[in-house]
Chains A and B, each alone.
Chain A
Amino acid sequence: MAVNDNDMELLHEYVDGELPVAECEGLWRRLAIERDLMGELDRLRTDHAARTMVWNSLEPDESTVARLEAKIMRATRREDLMSWGSNILRIVASAAALILFGFTVGWMGRDRYTGVPIVAHPSQGGSAIATTDVGGSSAAIKYNVEFFDRNGKLLNIQQFNSKEEAEQFKHDFDAAQASPAGSDWNVVPTINKF
C-alpha cells in the first residue's frame, strides 16, 4: 500500500518526537502490519542519521572557538572604549557651549547701563553729554554725577570709578555753567554713589 502525504506527516512528527502519545500508539499498530509504512520510517531514520553526521561535522574545533571568543572580547572592549570616549566628548562639548553662551551674553551686555536712560539736554536741543562708564571696570562702587533741571527732572548721568573723579567733573561743569557760555543751562549736578 502506498504511503500518502498524511502518513508521511505522521512519520515526520514521530521521528521528531512531536506526535502525541495517543497517536503514537495508533502508529505503532499500523507499523506492525503495514510494510510500506515501516519502509518509509526506515528511510526517514537513515536520512536523519546521515544528516546528524553532517550537523556534527559542522561543529568547530577548539582553536576556532577560542579565536572567535577572543575576537568578541576585543570587540566588546573597543565598544566600551568608544562609548566612554563619546560620553566624555559630549560632556566637554556641552561645557564648551555653556561657556561660549555665557561669554557671548556677557560680551553683548558689557556696555549696557542699568541706570536712567540717556536723554538730550532740553535747553541745548542737542545730543547728551558723554554718558558711558569710562572705566569699564568691575569696581563694586561707582559715583554718578546726575544732572537735574530746575524742576527736579533727571536729564543725564555721568559715571565715574572714584569719588575724586566725580567731584573733579562736577567742579569743571560748575565752572563751565558759571561762564557766559553756560549761562542758560540751568542744570543742577549732584554726586551719588551707584
Chain B
Amino acid sequence: MSMEENGRQPAAAESTNELFERAVRLHSRRLLAIARAIVGNRASPEDVVQQAFMNLYQHRDRYDWREAGGLMRRTVVNEALRILRQPRMSVLADDQGDPSPSQSPSRHMLEGEAVLQVRRAIDRLPENFRAALVLCEYEKLSYAQIAETLDASIPQVKTWIHRGRRQLAEMLRAYADQT
C-alpha cells in the first residue's frame, strides 16, 4: 500500500487533532520501516517516529492533515538523519525480523541469513545513500520526490542511489567470496 490516502473523505467536522490521529494510524507502519532502514541499530526507530510526530503536533495548526503522507515522511526522514549526525550513539541489539510461518525452518534460516547480510551491508552505507535507496525501492518515490524529501538535487539523488547499489554489490560480493 502506498502512502496515498485510501480515498475515504474525512468528515467535514473533523478537528485538527482528529485528523492528526487519523494520519498517525494511516502512516505509522511504513514510517517505522523507513526510520528503521535509515537509523539501523544506531537508534530506536520508534523514538525517531515519535519525536518526528510530536514536532509536527506542536505546530499542527500550520498543516493540512487530510493529505499528510509526504509531510510526515519528510519529517521522519529528517529526524532520522538528524539523530545519525549526533555524536555516535551505542549500537542497539540487532534483530532478524519476523519469521514467515509458511517457510521451512532451514529455508527460513538461509533466507534469514541472506537478509541479515544485506541488512548489515545496507547499514554500512553512508546515511544519504541509505535514505535515498529506501525511499526509491521501498516507498517507490520518483527521483524528484526523493530530492524534495532529502532537500537535494535530482542528479545528487541519482548519484546516491547508483553508488549505494554499487557499494552494496561490492560488499555482498566480498561476503560471498568469503563463504
Contacts and interface: CB of A to CB of B under 8 A. Distances in A.
A68 B169 contact: no
B118 A51 contact: yes
Contacts, number: 99
Q: How large is the interface on A (under 10, 10 to 19, 20 to 34, 35 or more residues)?
A: 20 to 34
Q: Is the interface of A mostly helix, strand, loop or mixed?
A: helix
Interface stretch (B2-10, B84-92, B160-168): B160-168
Contacts of B122: 51, 54
A174 interface: no
B150 interface: no
B118 A50 contact: yes
Interface of B: 17, 20-21, 24-25, 28-30, 32-33, 36-37, 45-46, 49-50, 53-54, 57-58, 96-98, 111, 114-115, 118-119, 122, 133-134, 136-138, 142-143, 158, 161-162, 165, 168-169, 172
Given A51-B133, A59-B30, 17 more contacts: A8-B162, A13-B158, A18-B142, A44-B165, A48-B137, A51-B122, A51-B137, A52-B138, A54-B115, A57-B96, A58-B119, A58-B138, A59-B32, A65-B28, A68-B50, A72-B50, A76-B57
Interface of A: 8-9, 12-13, 16, 18, 43-44, 47-48, 50-55, 57-61, 64-65, 67-69, 71-73, 75-76, 79-80
The 7 nearest A-B residue pairs measured at CB: A57-B97, A55-B138, A58-B33, A59-B33, A58-B36, A60-B32, A54-B118
